[in-house]
Chains A and B, each alone.
Chain A
Amino acid sequence: MTKPEKLIVDGKRLDGRGPLDLRPIKFKAGVLKRADGSCYLEFGGNKVMAAVYGPREVHPRHLQNSSRAIVRYRYNMAAFSVEDRKRPGPDRRSIEISKVSREALECVVLEALYPRSAIDIFVEILQADAGTRAAGINAASVALADAGIPMKCLVSACAVGKVDDTLVLDLNKDEDNYGQADLPIAVTQFGDVSLCQMDGHLTEEEFGQAVDMAIVGCKKLHEMQKQALVEKYGEMVSPQAEEAEAQKADGGERSE
């Protein structure tokens, strides 16, 4: 694939989007049987499955923390997810992405509630199309909530880039390959930046604008994440029904 001559033509990107447009996005919560929580996400051409197990026992035991849960995150790309088949197994890039993604989410998890346990987050990239780490974090946030892990809030992520000297939100593959900068950012719902990486070339002013653009993109993603969680249940509950809902029964019910 040769570099296209121009990546922006008449203010439109090659895939028809404007600079502030996200690619088509679809979240679905609670899709796996065995995992405690899960989320399948299609984000542009990315296809991502995130799942959470936890809180659960820590293996190996020496990793336990007596005052809080440990959070682990494993980002993994399927061999068939990329153009040239990738050898299965973690490589240095996956390990780095796993670390920063974990840190992006750990800041909102209420870990102190579950000492001596582990909250394990697994993200499998089934198809990659630029922005996989952001997609992973978006799906993982939903999977954490789906698993019932208490958190301060959800975390949303997207990447801003620069192509043809223009800042654009949510890079696609060509823009990522041939662009001038790539800035993946994750923010909590309260606007705190929990992931920030950059490579390429950005002036200070460009960086400031890029962050603002990312925050706008993340707000939109947050709405979709919440929607996916609400949709899973499809119905509202009326308060005059089953007051047992609010009254957690004291003690178990005796038998026979």
Chain B
Amino acid sequence: MEREIVVPGDMLGEDPKLSGSGTYVQDGKVYSANYGLVDRRSSIKVIPLSGRYIPARSDLVIGKVVDVTFSNWIVDINSPYEGLLHLSEFPERVDPANMNKYLHAGELIIARVADVDPTMKVELTMRDEHLRILKQGRVIDISHVKIPRVIGRNGSMISMLKKDLNVSIFVGQNGRIWLKGDEKKVDLAIRTIFKIEREAHTSGLTDSIKDYLNKELEQLRNT
């Protein structure tokens, strides 16, 4: 059985109890609310093929500082909702009169979404291990719905990339990915990630990517 592409309004089932994410119930039937792929393995779910990132608590994201107010940095997290980083959530003690000294507009950070309230006020924190300002390296944006494919089952895809290419990679839930390493290898990693993004909905992706990587690495070795 192939996994179908469905559009909003497609009728997916007649048992309202099976309605999962991406679906809704009307007149006792289950309908798709999304443009995406149906997954009928337990409940009926529709995984969207596109859409903007909506922050959820404990997500790890890559943010871009866009403004500084008297006690918060305003952070673009590639979402309709901006993130607020309060000065108390910065890993060091911050002099409130001099916030720009610690973090200024244009800088990229790895942060955790600490809280999202019902009005979609998003609070970020940098007070965990691994959270930091990103100096150097490169950052790319992909559609956040493809991030699970870039990570792979149990991290298999991303581990393969990191190991085979020997580059550092951080994948943000919000569709931003940071890479650092040898220039040519980082270029290849980026090309590979865009390939995963394009082909995310296809089957046999891991093999296809493995083959692609091997071929490209071979070419690199020969030049």
Contact = CB atoms under 8 A, between A and B. Distances in A.
Q: Which of A249, A251, A252 has the most CB of B within 10 A?
A: A252
Interface in A189-232: 189-190, 225-226, 229-230
A76 to B, nearest CB: 24
A230 B157 CA distance: 27
B35 A145 contact: yes
A18 interface: no
Contacts, number: 167
Q: Which of A154, A190, A249 has the most CB of B within 10 A?
A: A249
B58 to A, nearest CB: 6
A248 B33 contact: no
B7 A254 contact: no
B80 A117 contact: yes
A237 B37 contact: yes
A241 B200 CA distance: 11
Contacts of B83: none
Contacts of A255: 110, 130, 168-170, 178
Q: How large is the interface on A (under 10, 10 to 19, 20 to 34, 35 or more residues)?
A: 35 or more
A178 interface: no
A244 B201 CA distance: 11
Interface string A108-120: 1010001111100
Given A54-B52, A148-B48, A244-B149, A253 B171 contact: yes
A57 B52 CA distance: 12
Nearest to B37: A237
B191 to A, nearest CB: 18
A128 interface: no
B33 A150 contact: yes
A9 interface: no
Contacts of B34: 148, 150
A119 B205 CA distance: 33
Q: Which of A146, A150, A238, A246 has the most CB of B within 10 A?
A: A150
B5 A230 contact: yes
Contacts of B47: 245-246
A244 B2 contact: no
A153 B31 contact: yes
A229 B34 CA distance: 12
A55 interface: yes
Contacts of A116: 80-81, 119-120
Given A148-B52, A236-B4, 9 more contacts: A110-B24, A150-B34, A190-B26, A226-B10, A241-B204, A252-B61, A253-B169, A254-B170, A255-B178
Question: Can you list the 5 inter-chain pairs with the closest CB atoms, starting with the nearest?
Answer: A153-B9, A148-B51, A252-B60, A241-B203, A255-B170
12 contacts: A147-B51, A148-B52, A151-B33, A152-B9, A229-B5, A230-B7, A235-B202, A241-B205, A244-B148, A244-B153, A246-B45, A247-B148
